């Protein structure tokens, strides 16, 4: 895993959208690459934008846009929980406020569901799509019941000891056998813990959501990434996504649910290859 740290990103900034104060960051702003589009990165359940830094460093001059979802990281919590379509609306207005028209989009886990919804809701804003460790909502093949029960509560964000005990079986991959890596991740996870209400609000956004009825209408070239040892989102879900999205291809990576971090050196070239094609 790439070492955690500040990376090459600019200082974090805030923008007001629909009464919410959203924290965002633009990395490698204005990078000079012919025909390049910025890459919008959407983090998973309870995560904060800093979790992208190991991967951002390896993407080099790829301009990246990251943000904290409402109720996560340093963004404010909505008074009423948002549905997935409303979260997509917040993201669209964030792009508007930052002056971005069309972007490439990558989402991981819950962020992958939001990336699908954004592509469905505003297809003209998405050039290429990358879906990592994610599924399609209702109808998805469930993961390990014990791992899913641990995911249902945000304790891992509040206690490093809890994270270190549960992460190996919960996330799989290298975290099963590398205690130093688990301790490193635990410190990072606790940097910006979500509020409990914000965490459950994100889960609420996923309840009742399903992309199966319209996946066949996603026309964007799509890269589906999956770990081969993911207790939370089994590989079969990625195979189904890649099979239903017309212009999708699947790449399976050695690793667990956090393969984007534990195998960042192997994944970064795949991402660059997708957005630079």
CB neighbour burial string for 74-105, b if at least 16 within 10 angstroms, e if fewer? ebbebeebbbbebbbbbbeebbeebebeebbb
d(CA 70, CA 67): 9
Please answer whether residues 116 and 218 qualify as being in contact, where contact means their C-beta atoms are separated by less than 8 angstroms: yes
Question: Which tokens belong to 100?
Answer: 């971005």
* d(C-alpha 26, C-alpha 128), whole Å: 19
Q: Kind of pairing, strands 126-132 and 13-17?
A: unpaired
Contact 14, 60 (CB under 8 A): no
**Strand pairing class (13-17; 20-27):** antiparallel
Contact 57, 8 (CB under 8 A): yes
Q: What is the DSSP letter of 4?
A: P
What is the rounded CA–CA span in Å between residue 121 and residue 115? 10
22: part of which helix (H) or strand (E)? strand 20-27
- Report whether 194 contacts 73 (CB < 8 A): yes
| Of 9, 75, 109, 226, catalytic | 109
Q: Is 109 a catalytic residue?
A: yes
Give the DSSP H or E segment for 146: helix 145-151
Residue positions annotated with a catalytic role: 109
């Amino acid at each position: 895993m790439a070492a955690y740290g500040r990376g090459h990103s600019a200082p974090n900034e805030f923008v007001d959208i629909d009464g919410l104060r959203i924290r965002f960051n633009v990395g490698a702003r204005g990078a000079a690459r012919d025909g390049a589009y910025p890459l919008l990165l959407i983090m998973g359940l309870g995560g904060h934008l800093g979790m992208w830094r190991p991967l951002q460093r390896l993407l080099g001059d790829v301009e990246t846009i990251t943000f904290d979802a409402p109720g996560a990281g340093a963004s404010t919590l909505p008074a009423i929980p948002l549905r997935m379509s409303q979260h997509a609306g917040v993201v669209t207005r964030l792009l508007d406020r930052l002056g971005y028209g069309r972007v490439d989009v990558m989402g991981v886990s819950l962020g992958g569901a939001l990336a699908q919804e954004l592509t469905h809701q505003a297809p003209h804003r998405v050039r290429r799509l990358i879906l990592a460790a994610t599924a399609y909502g209702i109808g998805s093949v469930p993961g390990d019941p014990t791992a899913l029960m641990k995911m249902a509560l945000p304790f891992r964000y509040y206690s490093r000891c809890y994270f270190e005990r549960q992460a190996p079986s919960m996330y799989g991959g290298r975290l099963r056998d590398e205690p130093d890596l688990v301790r490193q991740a635990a410190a990072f996870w606790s940097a910006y813990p979500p509020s409990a209400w914000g965490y459950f609000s994100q889960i609420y956004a996923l309840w009742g959501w399903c992309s199966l009825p319209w996946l066949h209408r996603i026309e964007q070239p799509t890269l589906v990434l999956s770990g081969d040892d993911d207790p939370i989102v089994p590989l079969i879900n990625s195979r189904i996504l890649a099979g239903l999205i017309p212009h999708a291809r699947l790449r399976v990576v050695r690793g667990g649910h956090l393969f984007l971090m534990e195998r960042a050196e192997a994944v970064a070239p795949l991402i660059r290859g997708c957005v630079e094609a």
